[in-house]
Structures are given as structure tokens and as C-alpha cells.
Structure 1
Amino acid sequence: MKKYYSLSELLVDYRKHRQLTQIDFAAMLDVDVRTVIRWEKNESLIKADKERILIENMGIPHQVVRNLNTEQPIPVYFDFKRWLYSLTLLSSVVKSAKEFKTDEELHTTRIVSLTDDKDFDFITYIQQNQKNCNPLSRDVIKTATRLLPGLNFVIRDQSGYHGGHVSILPLKYEVYEKIRDQKMLENQLTTNDLARHNDEDTPVFYFYSIYSNSLDNTYYLINKMLFYFKKREELKNYILAGVTFQNLKVDHFRQMGFQVIWEKNVDGHPDHHATFLSGNFNRFFSNEIEFF
């Protein structure tokens, strides 16, 4: 994570991350390029109406922009690769999956069902940012949300902006086998591949996108997902599987008892890996796993 002391520095890094020129960036925000130049030189603050446009178009967490767009900026850490922010470096990451183990179900009114088109757009944006070059169609995610509302939700920050989400698909077992055996790619999934779990002997939950922009939101999202399975006592013989592009998620899932089925390079870059994981939370819940 990089520590930012000014909004100007963050904007420059954002442009580099997205490979945008100042002209491109100005067009994206519908402002004059001279305005962008002033912002990046830290010559002026961004007015409230433009700040909102900035947040909505860039997808940068609201708290990050709010902290930096002030006469006396509050430093904030931000990671463009993981699209994650933190107010302190020590709280920027969950060190071990055991930190998610709790007997208490957390509740917040900030978690709601996935329904807004902007949320579906952001899921695609996050996937692309995390090296998924061929994200799923919106129809597949929307249909999964209707079939499995308990595992498709978004958390908003105090200002109502997208702070993270969980997007999990109910998948037919034979389709899961094809992806597991690398006979089918994730981006080939269609709405016909989705299942109604009461018709399946071995229900498959396919985690497509699990993301949060801060540690607090991570706890709420993972807690809600874990308690979905913990409360469904009839779900003993189920599979939770999916592809992730982040090593940290691989580590956490492995600590929870999941297996790495395969791993492969993405787009020819040696540091870009897609990892397919499969398992369930039974051992994690029953304390069969030891943490070190």
C-alpha cells in the first residue's frame, strides 16, 4: 500500500494505473483539461459537485477522496492493485483466516441486496482491475442474484457509495466439473448454466466476485457469507468454488480448508495468476483446522 498525502498525487497515480492522458481524464470527468492540470499540481481543491463526479467515475472509495480533498489532508493508504484503502498501514489487511472465526453474526443496515445497475457495473470493473480480462455478462450476475439473493449483496459506505460486494452463482454440478477440469472457461458461463439448488444433489456455489475497499467492510461481508452457510444446516454436502486472481484470497481459502485445483498464468504475464479453489466451510466451522 502507498501512503497518500494529497489528492493530486492520488489522481496522477490513478491516471497511470488506467493509462489515461490528462485529456482522457478530463473527458471522462467532463471538465476542462486545465482543471485536471490544476488538480494534479495541487493548486486547487475540488468542489463538492465535481468531487461527487470524481468518486462515481473513478470508483475510488469516498473516504479516500474526502480525506485528501481538504485544506488539511488526512493521509490515507491506497492500493490500486487490490483497490483497497486503509487509514493505518497496520489495519490494511487480514493476516489470517482465523480472524474471521466468530460466534457472533454482525448486522448492519449498510448491507443490501444487489439491485442497482451501477453496482453490477462496478463488479465488472473490479474484475477487470484484478486481471480478469473476460468478465461475466451482467445477465448472468443478475440472474444469479435473483436465484440466490442470500449470497449476492453489496455494502455501502456512510455516504451511500459502493464499499464492497459478494457475488456468488448457483452452478449446475456438471458445469462446475467442466470448469474444474479446464474444459470450460469462466467467461463462457451463461444463464442456462445456473442451477436451482433444490434440484441438485450436490449444490455448487461459485464465488465470482468477493471484494471490499476496507478492512471493516471485509469483516461485514465475509461474516454475512459465512453465516449463510453456518445457518443452513441442511447444506452439509455442498461445494464452494471459484477463480481468484489474488494470492491473499488463495491463502485465506486454503487456511479455511479449501484445495487449489489448478493455477495458470493470465495474459502471459509471470505475475498474473488465476487460481481455481474448491471446498466448503465444514472443517473451518468444526475447528478441525489448526492455525499457526
Structure 2
Amino acid sequence: MKRYYSIGELFKDYREFNGLSQIDFAASIKVDLRTIQRWEKNLTLVKSEKEEDIVLATLMPYQLIHNLNAAVPIPTFYNFKTRKYSLSEQNSELPNLSWYKDQLDLTTQNIRTIDYDLDIKHINYYIDSLHKDDSYVNDELIREAVKLLPELNFVFTGRTGYYAGHCIVLPIKETTYLKLRNREITNKNLRATDLINPNYLERPIYYRYEITGDCNETIFYIMAEFFRYFKKLNKKYLLCGYTERDDNYHLNLEIGLKNVWEDKALQETLGLDYPPRFIEGDFDHFLFDD
């Protein structure tokens, strides 16, 4: 993580990381070139009503923009690769597994079930941009997931009340699971008809579609809510998912999930530290063994 002291410095690095010119950046957030130049020289601040446009266009956390877009900026660490911020260098890495387990009962009022009309814009922007595909997310899929499994389809709002992360877990049919596992379909192919009410199944299958947060504190509360669901489930289940994230690779293995397959060719294409992979398992060992 790099520590940023001004909004101008952040914008310059954002452009460099994404290979954008000042003109490209200006077009993406619908301002003129002179405005970008003044921001990057820290001659003017971003108008507050423009902050949301920047967050949606760049996927940089709102709290990061808010901290630096001030007459007296709050120095903030940020990593463009993981898209996470931190106020201290000590909090830049994910905590170890025992820390999660010891703090599992901590709750927050910042979590609420996804409100489709209110939240889908942020979810779509994040996932579509992550995969560089404007049609990656199927809206009806998310709507149905919220209906069938509201406990595991939620958003986290930060200190300012602004969207800061989400958890999307799909209760899928066994036939859908097998197609995903055998690489016959991908996340982009999933539809509402692939879902099923998990309460009707003796052994439900949960597909971890997308979990993200803008900082480790957000990630902790999201994951604590996620783990508590399975701790209370009181039945056999299978959790599976596809992930390209580098920062949770070892955590997944420590929790007890196993790699079914890895795509090393895609790893090279995307420039990742670890290969994209399909994982599956349960959390019994993590949640119940001392």
C-alpha cells in the first residue's frame, strides 16, 4: 500500500495504474481537461456532488476520496490492485484466521439486506468493471438471490453511510453446481432459474458469487456475518465459488476450502500472483474445532 496525502497524487497514480491520459480520465467522469489538471495540481478540490461519479467510474472507495478531498486531507493508504484503503500501514494485510474466529460474535449496524433499487447500481459497476465486461452481472439473478437468501445477500455501508462493500451468495441447483465445477458455464452464464430455495434441500449448495469490501474492517464484518450464517445452519451443506482474488488465496485454504481446479493461463493473462480457481468445501473444521 502507498500512503496518499492529496487527492491530486491519488488521481495521478490512478491514471498511471490504468493507463489513462488526463483526457481519458476527464471523459470517464464527464469533466473537462482543465478540471483534471487543477485537481492533480491540488489547486481545487472535487465538488462534493461529484464524488459519487468518481467512485462509480474508478471503483476507488468513497471513504478514500472523502479523506483526501478536504482542505486538510487525512493521509490514507491505498492499494489499486486489491482496491482497499487503510488509515495505517499495520492494517494493510488481511488478519490471520484465528483473529477472525476469536472476534466472530462482533456485529455491526452497518449491514443490511441488499435493496435492489438502491444498491444494484454500485454492485453492477463494481463487478462489471472488475471483469471488464459491462454485461457481466445479470440483474434478475441478484434479485432472485436476495429473495431466496436475504441473510447472505447484503451490503455494508461505511461511516459516512455510503456503500462500502457487499456479499452475494447464490443458493444453486446441483445441476448448476456441476456445470460450474466442470467448467461448462461461468459466472456470466448464471441466471435466476439456476437458483433454488436452500430451505427445501437436505444438503444445500451455496455459491460464493462475490464478496468485497473497501478496507479490512469492512471485510471483517462482512465475513463475520457470512460465517455466523453457516455456524447456525445446523445441516450439511457445500460452499463453492470461483475467485480471481490474490489477497484471500491462503485464507481460503486455511478455512478448509479445497481447490478443484486452477487456471494458470488466465493467471498469466491477468497478471495475478495466484491462479484463478474453483474452490469448495465447508467451514466445520474452522467453526467448530478448537
Aligned-CA RMSD value = 2.2
Distance 2:198 2:48 in 1: 47
The CA distance in 2 between the partners of 1:48 and 1:248, in whole Å, is 32
More divergent stretch after superposition (59-68 vs 220-229): 59-68
The TM-score with structure 2 as length reference comes to 0.89
Instruction: Report the AA paired with residue 139 of structure 2.
Output: R
User: Higher mean Cα deviation, 148-157 or 126-135?
Assistant: 126-135
CA offset digits 1:209-233 (Å, max 9, x no partner): 0101111111111111111111122
Deviations 1:254-278 (A, max 9, x none): 1011101001032861634321110
Give the secondary-structure state (helix, strand or coil) at the position aligned to 2:221.
helix
Matched, 1:6 2:10: no
Decide whether aligned partners of structure 1 residues 90 and 128 sit closer, same or farther in structure 2, where only a CA change above 3 A counts: farther
Q: How far apart, CA to CA, are the structure 2 residues paired with 1:106 and 1:145? A: 23
Q: Distance in 1 between matches of 2:148 and 2:110?
A: 22
**Among the aligned pairs, what percent are the same residue?**
33
Amino acid in the other structure paired with 2:10: L
What amino acid is aligned across from residue 282 of structure 1 in structure 2?
Answer: D
SS for the counterpart of 2:141 is helix
1:123 aligns with 2:120: no
| Contiguous gaps of at least 5 residues in structure 2 | none
Deviations 1:19-46 (A, max 9, x none): 4432333233333221111111222222
Q: Is the 8 A contact 2:158 2:164 kept in 1?
A: yes
Residue identity opposite 1:35 in structure 2: T
Q: How many residues align?
A: 286
Whole-angstrom distance in 2 between the partners of 1:282 and 1:143? 27
Q: 1:241 Cα deviation (Å)? A: 0.5
Any conservation in 1 of the 2:260–2:280 contact (CA below 8 Å)? yes
1:167 equivalent to 2:168? Answer yes
Kindly state the Cα deviation for residue 173 of structure 1 after the two structures are TM-superposed: 1.1
Q: Which residue of 2 aligns with 1:262?
A: 261
Match of 2:199 in 1: 198
Asked if the contact 1:81/1:129 (under 8 Å) is kept, the reply is no
**How many angstroms apart in 2 are the aligned matches of 1:66 and 1:268?**
35
Contact 1:82–1:130 under 8 Å retained in 2: no
Contact 2:56/2:122, CA 8 A, preserved across alignment: no
**For residue 217 of structure 1, what is the aligned residue in structure 2?**
218
2:277 is aligned with 1:278: no
Say whether the 8 Å CA contact 1:130–1:245 is kept in structure 2: no
Q: CA deviation at 1:167?
A: 0.3
Q: Superposition pairs for residues 71-82 of structure 1, below 5 Å? A: 71-82=71-82
Distance across 2 between alignment mates of 1:60 and 1:160: 16
TM-score (norm 1): 0.89
The 2-side partners of 1:98 and 1:125 are apart by: 33
Partner SS, residue 247 of structure 2: helix
